[in-house]
Amino acid sequence: MNVFVSVDMEGVSGLVRWADVASSGIDFERNRVLMTEDANAAVQGAFAAGAHSVVVEENHGVEDLCVLRMDLIDPRCEVIRGAGRGGSTTMAGLTGEIDIVMLIGHHARAGSKPGIMAHTVSGAFKTVRVNGMLAGEPMLFALRAGELGVPVGLVTGDQVVAEETRELVADIDAVVVKHAYANFAARCIPPQRATPMIRAAAEQTVQRARGGGYRALTDAARPYEIEVELWQAAGEGLRANLEAMAEFELEGETTVRTVAPDMDIGFRRIAYLGYGDRAGLTKY
């Protein structure tokens, strides 16, 4: 079994606010360790279930996507990190060779209330929709994995990301490490107790995947109709860039539409809308 683990930070046990997951935050260095420990729990569980390889990919956007503590990560896995990976923004390790995907430390989608640090890809997006459905990052991963025939088996984070991911992937397992009361308040299971829960669930997930217990999301309608609603009117730079690219359509001041053949390109286009304000930047 080849296992792909996407690790984000907002859904890591114990973390509830932006100051917990930003490099300027007071507890960031400590919280990098907590993120690494949640990732390690998944890696350990996967290997305990006999995984052949585990690729861990960083999905948290601060500090050029280099947040995991490489000195503390389980040495049996490999880690994909850094910006500019090519291909899907943070899914470079998700290929057809993978047998099962696990989403560790993930978070609720943009617009969710409650939902710890709910957003989709960028804080500049009010909502992201794919084929008319509100989309979070787990949906983008599940759709891309489905294109490759790969199922998603486990998500960890708060109860909201667990529920939202289940809407699309009914048979997914979830570890709820905190119960969100709002976007920045939760009742948390302390990491010392949460990480063994993640480890046990990851082990079960890989065992279940070996027995063919998960179904890949292969029946989503394609091409995808993607709609991103921005919080603020598109700035001059972004507007000019979008006009130069036929694949994007700006509707009104805040809504951008694009039709993407797959979620490799779709994810890149969504991410681009978060950083495409720089004059002349028309690559993504």
Q: Which spans of this chain sit near Zn ion (rule: CB under 5 A)?
A: 8-10, 60
User: How many helices (H) and strands (E) in the chain?
Assistant: 7, 12
Nearer CB in complex with Zn ion: 60/129: 60
The nearest distance, CB 59 to Zn ion, in angstroms, is 6
Output phi, psi for 132, to 5 deg: 85, -10
Closest approach, Cβ 106 to Zn ion, in A, equals 8
Tell me the helix, strand and coil percentages in the chain, rounded to 5. Answer: 30, 25, 45
Q: Which is nearer to Zn ion, 10 or 37 (CB)?
A: 10
Q: At what angle do helices 159-168 and 137-147 cross, to 10 degrees?
A: 30
Nearest residue (beta carbon) to Zn ion: 60
Q: Shortest approach of Zn ion to residue 17 CB, angstroms?
A: 13
* Structure token digits, residue 217: 């999301």
Distance CA 103, CA 156 (A): 6
Which of 45/105 has CB closer to Zn ion?
Answer: 105
Nearer to Zn ion, 119 or 144 (CB): 119
Distance, CA of 82 to CA of 71 (rounded, Å):
16
Q: How far is the CB of 60 from Zn ion (least distance, A)?
A: 4
